[in-house]
Structure 1
């Protein structure tokens, strides 16, 4: 039975991906910060015996390591670092709060690498694929509007991390990619997004399902198109 590990699975793209993988018969380990408030996720448990929900704050290193130990017998075919944080929208140059920047980087950049590190034995067992959710806002070439210093820098750093992961993991027959999910109508993306979570998740899963060795280390959108670094 194929197994996938998803963070930020309580809503938005993470929840949509959880539903798609369950529909295709995968076992899903779905993580979120507050399961007691994740009604849409918990609702799925009764009809999906392959779904397990775990409480996880991705920035809590001890909790990440403890969960890795608890799940030590699992072999994950796919690990999706989906949890993310944009940060304040009303901070321009000259008014930047460095503590907020640290939080954005902690969630978007440090946590994904730490999770991969903690679950590396689980991924090695299945020669799994690491999928880090990024954004076109982390692309240098695509930056034509400036601003958004916190989010852009955190995703650019995540892109660099993932490129290194793709090289280091290849010796184990594994792959790592970054995926821009599109401008999605979610709590983070806002109500004016161009696509819904179902469209985004469907494209992302199709990309992962058909990923080949030549695509290892790539930067793609949800439709599988290459995005410039």
Structure 2
């Protein structure tokens, strides 16, 4: 059993990842922007000490550092899950530039801020793992132009994870990006082809099995390599 920090457990994939890990007996540190609004389903896990909620906004470096100060234990796995789809207007021919910047701030810089703040906790664990929920939509080889702010932010965070894998190799810390599939969540919509339960189960199986040789890689929720 290990200790997992998951950003954005208020809904969607983050919520399901937390649920699966808690039910199998792991300890979860879950971040939300407003702990007072957290789901009542977490109450029992909080009372027995298996779940700890931290207030954290990945846009705000100060809030991330404050959250890190409130934690004094090793982290075996950090899952960067919090993310946004971006603005309504995000075409190369009609761009909401402020929205584009916000998308990069959340989806690309947010994971890096989080890793840097919690790196001391990761270093205290043996063979820690950093897992960032990305998207195949960010693959350079996938030449689509819709949702270009979202695509660009995921392409950029893949490169950031690759860089972290290189820089943290001496520490024995693994870093990978994961495509969760097109998942039936608020972001993915009801027409998506993967259930949130299947996606979460697959991601956790992938995390359990990754080795230093996988570090820097990009995988889908079923463990298959994805082209950058």
1:206 aligns with 2:179: no
Q: Which residue of 1 aligns with 2:22?
A: 22
> SS of the counterpart of 2:189?
coil
Give how far 1:47 is off: 7.0
Distance in 1 of aligned mates of 2:44 and 2:140: 39
**8 Å CA contact 2:181, 2:221 repeated in 1:** yes
1:154 aligns with 2:159: no
> SS of the counterpart of 1:193?
coil
Distance in 2 of aligned mates of 1:40 and 1:58: 23
Give how far 1:44 is off: 5.0
Q: Which residue of 1 aligns with 2:80?
A: 81
Q: Which residue of 2 aligns with 1:220?
A: 219
Q: How does 1:167-182 map to 2 (within 5 A)?
A: 167-182=166-181
Distance in 2 of aligned mates of 1:193 and 1:209: 26
- 1:36-64 per-residue CA deviation (whole Å, 9 max, x = no partner) reads 23325534536753011122111111111
**8 Å CA contact 1:11, 1:41 repeated in 2:** no
**8 Å CA contact 1:33, 1:55 repeated in 2:** yes
Of stretches 48-57 and 59-68 in structure 1, the one that deviates more from structure 2 is 48-57
Q: Which residue of 2 aligns with 1:35?
A: 35
Q: Which residue of 1 aligns with 2:123?
A: 124
Q: Which residue of 2 aligns with 1:45?
A: 45
Unaligned runs of 5+ residues in structure 2 are none
**8 Å CA contact 1:9, 1:41 repeated in 2:** no
Give how far 1:25 is off: 1.3
**8 Å CA contact 1:14, 1:82 repeated in 2:** yes
Kindly report the root-mean-square deviation, in angstroms, between the aligned alpha carbons of the 2 structures: 1.5
**8 Å CA contact 1:31, 1:55 repeated in 2:** yes
Unaligned runs of 5+ residues in structure 1 are none
Relative distance call for 1:154 and 1:44 in structure 2 (3 A) is farther
Distance in 2 of aligned mates of 1:159 and 1:174: 16
The number of aligned residues is 227
Compute the TM-score of the two structures, normalised by the length of structure 2.
0.95
- 1:145-189 per-residue CA deviation (whole Å, 9 max, x = no partner) reads 322210011000000000010111110011000000000000111
- 1:83-116 per-residue CA deviation (whole Å, 9 max, x = no partner) reads 0001124443332111000100000000100110
Give how far 1:118 is off: 0.6
**8 Å CA contact 1:17, 1:201 repeated in 2:** yes
Distance in 2 of aligned mates of 1:224 and 1:168: 23
Q: Which residue of 2 aligns with 1:191?
A: 190
